[in-house]
Amino acid sequence: MRRRFFLAFLMMGAAPAAAQKESLGTYWSWGAFEENGRCWAISQPRGTARAREPFASVGFWPRSGERGQLHFRLSREKRAGSAVLLRIDERSFQLIGRGADAWPPDAHADADILAAMRRGVEMVVETRSTSGARVRDRYRLRGAASAIDAAAIACA
């Protein structure tokens, strides 16, 4: 679990200033990037009132053997004890969440979700915020497969 937080931290620009993110392409509302041998596909939710900058990402970290690792930054910090549910069209997946971050419980769940993302139209991450309000971050999946493939190829 700590590794996912660390990877998300690196992904959001905490790498040394000398490192330059290289855009691998924009695919509708998804983008793909490479930096220092790490690659990722990333998107922001549509139409969400944001307390922070939420995103959905799929990371590839060849040096650590991670491929297709999902991470979600929620638009609001989740309430302790609240479940985090990911829906892709008619399929639902339970995520693990802490603070404003969520991720699948294991690599098998990562793979199942990635397969659903490739076929899906819309993805929604839902939970309750610390104030009890509903958090619902909606993502369009058009272009997700292309961005994921671009990131995977760049870090193959």
Residue 101 sits in a domain whose CATH number is 2.60.40.1880
Q: Read off the pLDDT of residues 71-81 as tens digits, 9 standing for 90 and up.
A: 999 999 999 99
Examine residue 73 and state whether it is found in any structural domain, yes or no.
Answer: yes
Examine residue 27 and state whether it is found in any structural domain, yes or no.
Answer: yes
Separation of alpha carbons 4 and 144, rounded Å: 20
Examine residue 111 and state whether it is found in any structural domain, yes or no.
Answer: yes
pLDDT at 25: 94
What average pLDDT does this structure show over 39-44? 97
Residue ranges making up the domain that contains 74: 2-11+21-154
Q: What is the pTM of this model?
A: 0.84
- DSSP state string for 64-112: GTEEEEEEEE-SSPBPTT--EEEEETTEEEEEEEETTEEE-SSHHHHHH
pLDDT(83) > 50:
yes
Q: Which positions ≥6 away from 150 have C-beta within 8 Å?
A: 24, 25, 27, 32, 41
Binning pLDDT at 50, 70 and 90, where does residue 9 land? Answer: very low
Examine residue 41 and state whether it is found in any structural domain, yes or no.
Answer: yes
Examine residue 16 and state whether it is found in any structural domain, yes or no.
Answer: no
Number of domains forming the structure of the chain: 1
